[in-house]
Chains A and B, each alone.
Chain A
Amino acid sequence: SQQGEEDPQALSIQEGENATMNCSYKTSINNLQWYRQNSGRGLVHLILIRSNEREKHSGRLRVTLDTSKKSSSLLITASRAADTASYFCATGNFGNEKLTFGTGTRLTIIP
């Protein structure tokens, strides 16, 4: 069954605003990752946060992880048109070789 569910499914904001996407999952995880997929392209890894971490930053990206709520959020600050893409969370679970991807949030940045 699907592990990650992103929320919202779609998000449109003005350039320069911040974008927040959420991911909820069901079972204990080893780590949680966020990926970006531009239209017609493959997925690109953005950031990985381990189960013992609560927050991580990378440039304009900020990821939080709340294992008690089984949720994570991805914040993109000062959005740009080039941030328009689908964003997926993926969970790595203990005792399992694979990553399980969520349903994705389609982000549109309006110039």
Chain B
Amino acid sequence: DAKTTQPPSMDCAEGRAANLPCNHSTISGNEYVYWYRQIHSQGPQYIIHGLKNNETNEMASLIITEDRKSSTLILPHATLRDTAVYYCIVRVPSGSARQLTFGSGTQLTVLP
């Protein structure tokens, strides 16, 4: 799986958009970008994934650069409950080894 780089922490004002960056310059052509988050003392929660097109769901939007070397997770209207560690993971979705390799992630703190 390709290595990812994320800032260790970010703050965001409640109600504003939270933009979380992720660098994955060694991503290969068949690897997807996944985002998970982990609220304190809970298990990780899937947010969104994408290959090369921008994706949006009820939780967030994922913007992947054209060269696919970086991406941004956007929480359009952050709430206090969005305070969590956000993990960007790059991997091939299929295959026998489908475990997730978690990096250090970004601690997002949403401020009132």
Specify whether A and B are partners: no
Q: B residues within 8 Å of A by Cβ?
A: none
